[in-house]
Structure 1
Amino acid sequence: MAISESSRQSLLPSFLYSSSSTRNLGLERIASGGPNPNPNPNLSPMSSRSALTDSGSVMVESPSEKRKIEMYSPAFYAACTAGGILSCGPTHTAVTPLDVVKCNMQIDPVKYKSISSGFGVLLKEQGVRGFFKGWVPTLIGYSAQGACKYGFYEFFKKYYADIVGPEYAAKYKTLIYLAGSASAEVIADVALCPMEAVKVRVQTQPGFARGLSDGLPKFVKAEGAMGLYKGLVPLWGRQIPYTMMKFASFETIVEMMYKYAIPTPKDQCSKQLQLGVSFAGGYVAGVLCAVVSHPADNLVSFLNNAKGATVGDAVKKLGVLGLFTRGLPLRILMIGTLTGTQWTIYDGFKVFVGLPTTGGVAPAAPSAAPAPAKLTN
């Protein structure tokens, strides 16, 4: 299995996609048919998919036997963007009934007192169709958000790692995850905000509109085109901490699972096991996301529900405690399941196109080669 020069150059920074397998400094020589430099005859020279190139960079093979897409190429980012669309759009649309009840609990806590009563009130007043109001703007908005969220996260993660260099990026990888996810979400929310505004209005104001086709024109007529971005700042306040927690905690949890809970190195695990790890790590990360971003989520729902509503109005009506707790149990259930499923779909798509799953145990930084000894007379 020859390793091309383009593969070496395309896999930087590889410590973000690596396993805990032992490095084999002579893998290149083995692959090309050269003598075996492995001093340990009991260790298979191909047991590790990591190698150090002549320049000292770490190279990591994909879980697939033959990679279809070159890492960090335009095709790689396009694949991540497509995976983001598949992971976010359909999953958010699937939980539309939970979202409708949650939004109404946030807007009218007197009428929608609990999860069970909220479903009952909605069913009685609007029928089964009421549970799926706003599904079209949900699908469009969160597909656009997912495309930007995952695609730009992969881009910014490598961009910031390249800026600081391999040593500091490996040492402060969590900061790289946080910075990359925050940068990506700033862009993603600009794509999401108009559809989120229409969605909330359709879901929380009976009789306002049937869906996107008539809801968007009514919204623009009432508040102008810029009114679609009225909730952008609160949306940033909700989504940026949410996404920072979603990506950084997921990467950390997955790394810990491969390091402490799974005895087999990641590159030797089956694809099914790796996707199971992605779901478990994503679910735990989703619970953390829900708690961190819930106050801002209440604000977004409140501001998009009524014309001229302010943050002060929301605090006055819901109270400080209400901002943190109103609808939280339902959101934990919804976001935990949602996030776990999203990571599974995203990593499943990456595996399908021949890319490695996200996260894993980062190897130790390669030690510098010893300087040759000077000859003395």
Structure 2
Amino acid sequence: MAAQETNLKFPLGKIEPNSLKYFGACTLGGIIACGPTHTSVTPLDLVKCRRQVDPKIYTSNLSAWRSIISKEGIRGIFFGWSPTFVGYSFQGAGKYGFYEYFKYLYGDRMFPETNRTLVHLGASASAEFIADVALCPFEAIKVRMQTTLPPFANTMREGWSKVVAQEGLSGLYKGLYPLWARQIPYTMTKFATFEETVSLIYRTLGKPKESFNGLQQTGVSFAGGYIAGIFCAIVSHPADVLVSKLNADRKAGESAMKAVSRIYGNIGFPGLWNGLPTRIVMLGTLTGFQWLIYDSFKVFLGLPTTGH
């Protein structure tokens, strides 16, 4: 009854699971979960990207922040926040909205007898494939802004204009393949690990999810998200390093594969793991709060939290 009252009070009215309104609500939840959270960790992301491109630029995260603040003030450590906010808001919309849709399509409509983990993997991969097309231009601008000194551009609008003027619209998508290589395994790990972790937590607690209140369920969502984020960081980190270096150091007319081969030849296998501890902290916290926000939004709408 309480859930129904919550739905009736909400401007959208009652939301039926797996309806168009439901998928729209999940899309909005993805925007709220991803845009602000990614923007909030810009100081970590800024240092991570610069250390990936040049491991000698800073001796530690703290020394990096001290150096940046001394030269540019507090605003300096949030450099690149605008393409981060816009890009990851778009990505969050596609990632969560399409995940819910594909999970329903693959699991309930097309392959109802399929193992649920396979459904989660397939749904998350499909969703991320689409979401990255929206993210890619803004990720390209963000990385160029953050990894070039002096900066390639000082604002998102300036960065967009300069890339298009120099390379055309295709310049905004030259990192799409490496982005897919980073983000699709990341998202598959994120969603499948989250779903399995949440299921394991409820089995360990010995009671069904429905027996817990909304606050307790979102607490489980945060724990499951944090654990999933740690796995995500490890799985996707080598591709993340290559994306940063590719956007910062790809030569004119050079194919993506040739650029990747050249960059790998310069940094070797150990270089693919530069900045991993920072990324584990960043993504664990980030993913935990994303699931907390996303499922809290669903509870606000009177919908069940994610997971079984």
Within the candidate set 175, 179, 195, 1:231 is matched to 175
- Counting aligned pairs with the same residue, the percent is 56
* SS of the residue 1:64 aligns to: helix
Within the candidate set 239, 243, 246, 1:296 is matched to 239
1:327 aligns with 2:275: yes
1:355 aligns with 2:298: no
Contact 1:278 1:340 in 2 (8 A): yes
1:71 and 1:190 mapped to 2: Cα distance? 27
1:140 aligns with 2:140: no
Q: Which residue of 2 aligns with 1:197?
A: 140
Contact 2:91 2:132 in 1 (8 A): yes
1:271 and 1:255 mapped to 2: Cα distance? 16
Q: Which residue of 2 aligns with 1:84?
A: 30
2:76 and 2:167 mapped to 1: Cα distance? 25
2:54 and 2:66 mapped to 1: Cα distance? 14
Q: Which residue of 1 aligns with 2:107?
A: 161
Within the candidate set 297, 315, 321, 2:264 is matched to 315
> Aligned-pair distance for 1:129?
2.1
Q: Which residue of 2 aligns with 1:252?
A: 196
- Do the aligned partners of residues 319 and 126 (structure 1) sit closer, same or farther apart at CA in structure 2, a change above 3 Å counting? farther
1:128 and 1:318 mapped to 2: Cα distance? 32
Contact 2:120 2:192 in 1 (8 A): yes
Q: Which residue of 2 aligns with 1:75?
A: 21
Within the candidate set 212, 224, 234, 1:281 is matched to 224
Contact 1:202 1:210 in 2 (8 A): yes
1:279 and 1:104 mapped to 2: Cα distance? 29
1:118 and 1:184 mapped to 2: Cα distance? 35
Contact 1:106 1:327 in 2 (8 A): yes
2:111 and 2:49 mapped to 1: Cα distance? 44
- Once superposed, what is the RMSD of the aligned Cα atoms? 1.6
- Alignment: residue pair count: 294
1:157 and 1:242 mapped to 2: Cα distance? 17
- 2:189 aligned partner, one-letter code: M
Contact 1:81 1:146 in 2 (8 A): yes
**1:105-152, CA deviations, whole angstroms, 9 ceiling, x for partnerless residues?**
001112224323332333344332221111111110000000000000
2:212 and 2:290 mapped to 1: Cα distance? 21
1:120 aligns with 2:66: yes
**1:65-119, CA deviations, whole angstroms, 9 ceiling, x for partnerless residues?**
5552101111000000000000000000011111100000001112224323332
- 1:351 aligned partner, one-letter code: V
1:117 and 1:75 mapped to 2: Cα distance? 48
1:313 and 1:127 mapped to 2: Cα distance? 36
Q: Which residue of 1 aligns with 2:186?
A: 242
**1:195-244, CA deviations, whole angstroms, 9 ceiling, x for partnerless residues?**
00000111111232111121110121122210100000000000000000
- 1:316 aligned partner, one-letter code: G
Structure with a larger share of its residues in helix: 2
Q: TM-score, normalised by structure 1?
A: 0.75
- Do the aligned partners of residues 122 and 317 (structure 1) sit closer, same or farther apart at CA in structure 2, a change above 3 Å counting? farther
1:149 aligns with 2:95: yes
- 1:176 aligned partner, one-letter code: V
> Aligned-pair distance for 1:288?
0.2
Within the candidate set 178, 193, 202, 2:121 is matched to 178
2:3 and 2:78 mapped to 1: Cα distance? 39
Contact 2:198 2:307 in 1 (8 A): yes
1:267 aligns with 2:200: no
2:163 and 2:79 mapped to 1: Cα distance? 16
- 2:18 aligned partner, one-letter code: Y
Q: Which runs of 5+ in 2 are unaligned?
A: 8-13
1:340 aligns with 2:251: no
* SS of the residue 2:86 aligns to: helix
- Do the aligned partners of residues 265 and 162 (structure 1) sit closer, same or farther apart at CA in structure 2, a change above 3 Å counting? closer
Contact 2:144 2:151 in 1 (8 A): no
Q: Which residue of 2 aligns with 1:305?
A: 248
Q: Which residue of 1 aligns with 2:10?
A: none
> Aligned-pair distance for 1:164?
4.3
> Aligned-pair distance for 1:307?
4.1
**1:18-43, CA deviations, whole angstroms, 9 ceiling, x for partnerless residues?**
xxxxxxxxxxxxxxxxxxxxxxxxxx
Q: TM-score, normalised by structure 2?
A: 0.91
1:212 and 1:107 mapped to 2: Cα distance? 21
- 1:301 aligned partner, one-letter code: S
- Do the aligned partners of residues 125 and 223 (structure 1) sit closer, same or farther apart at CA in structure 2, a change above 3 Å counting? farther
1:199 and 1:287 mapped to 2: Cα distance? 23
Contact 1:105 1:114 in 2 (8 A): no
Compare CA radii of gyration and give the structure with the larger one: 1
